Structure 1
Amino acid sequence: MTLLETLNQDMKQAMKNKDKITLSVIRMVKASIQNETIKLGKDSLSEDEEMTILSREVKQRKDSLQEFKSAGRDDLVQQLETELDILQTYMPKQLTNEELEAIVQLTIEEVNATSKKDMGKVMSAIMPKVKGKADGSQINKLVQKQLSN
């Protein structure tokens, strides 16, 4: 079942349950998917493209969450945390720190990276492997740590 089909089913359930927050989040994600579909001029998106959109939505909310926390807007922090929890249910299972470290180490060996100059090469090789399963900034830190040793 595609992400869009899952969203449609969950949207119907949220309507039945009168769950306004879940309904709102699902509608936002569906709108993002439809906008991307129109922008690319396709009938439907691949699973990979859908995951990219979902990851972008999660990242936007995480960034906003940090801003609201630093501004002391607890009302908006609570709402964003709820939205993030809802979005996380559609994301693939996140990799553990140990799994990420192993992937980073393996990729560094694959591309024969030796210094921080090779950072771009390593990141471009890793990101497709972990798409949607890990945060890019976390991977960036791990790669920097490994290359500085």
Structure 2
Amino acid sequence: MDYKSKLTDEMKRCMKAGEKSRLLVVRTLLAAIKQQEVDQQTTLNDEHILAVLDKALKQRKESIAQFEAAGRHDLVANEASEMAVIQDFMPQQLSEAEIASRIDQAFNEVSPSGMQDMGKVMALLKPQMQGRADMAKVSQLIKAKLG
């Protein structure tokens, strides 16, 4: 799946349809991708673009938590709508069972002996799960399994 062309097509569609709020989010995502490309002096592949989208999603989640704590429900609604737009471009989320299965597979491949091997397990899982699972939650599951 070519995320960049999908976002560009959506930007054009939003411009024609006059969907200003959705257009703003899509343009923000394209700008973040372009910024990464300029910073790294390369064209991002889908895996890296997915990481940019995942980061944008995570930023919105953090903002929602902060706005809720401050009682700014008007801003919470705005961030939630932006999250919904970003999620439209994310791959389908993995179920709890799929996450557990992939963690088990990684443990079979790496055979970790303790917490010092957590990085090896995460390195194996991150490319498979980036954007499809909350990596903080995956990390917690791995820590629990490592004991």
TM-superposed CA distance for 1:109, in Å, is 2.1
> Which stretch of structure 1 is more off in the superposition, 111-120 or 45-54?
111-120
The equivalent of 2:31 in structure 1 is 31
Tell me, yes or no, if the aligned pair for 1:14 and 1:23 is still in contact at 8 Å.
Answer: yes
The equivalent of 1:88 in structure 2 is 87
The equivalent of 2:112 in structure 1 is 113
Q: Report the number of matched residues.
A: 147
The equivalent of 2:17 in structure 1 is 17
Output the CA distance in 1 between the equivalents of 2:19 and 2:13: 9
The equivalent of 2:140 in structure 1 is 141
1:2 maps onto 2:2 in alignment: yes
TM-superposed CA distance for 1:80, in Å, is 0.6
Q: Relative to 1, partners in 2 of residues 1:37 and 1:117: Cα closer, same or farther, differing over 3 Å? A: closer
The TM-score with structure 1 as length reference comes to 0.91
Output the CA distance in 2 between the equivalents of 1:126 and 1:101: 11
> Which stretch of structure 1 is more off in the superposition, 118-127 or 84-93?
118-127
Output the CA distance in 2 between the equivalents of 1:117 and 1:9: 44
Letter paired with 1:86:
V
TM-superposed CA distance for 1:114, in Å, is 3.5
Tell me, yes or no, if the aligned pair for 2:14 and 2:20 is still in contact at 8 Å.
Answer: yes
Tell me, yes or no, if the aligned pair for 1:94 and 1:133 is still in contact at 8 Å.
Answer: yes
The equivalent of 2:67 in structure 1 is 68
Output the CA distance in 2 between the equivalents of 1:74 and 1:118: 42
The equivalent of 1:97 in structure 2 is 96
Output the CA distance in 1 between the equivalents of 2:141 and 2:87: 22
Tell me, yes or no, if the aligned pair for 1:105 and 1:146 is still in contact at 8 Å.
Answer: no
Letter paired with 1:20:
K
1:124 maps onto 2:123 in alignment: yes
Give me the CA root mean square deviation: 1.4
Q: After superposition, what is the alpha-carbon deviation per residue over 1:76-125, rounded to whole angstroms, capped at 9, x for unaligned?
A: 11011100010001011111111001111111121111433332222222
SS at match of 2:83: helix
The equivalent of 2:49 in structure 1 is 50
Letter paired with 2:146:
L
Output the CA distance in 2 between the equivalents of 1:93 and 1:14: 23
Letter paired with 2:5:
E
> Which stretch of structure 1 is more off in the superposition, 120-129 or 51-60?
120-129
SS at match of 2:90: coil
Letter paired with 2:93:
Q
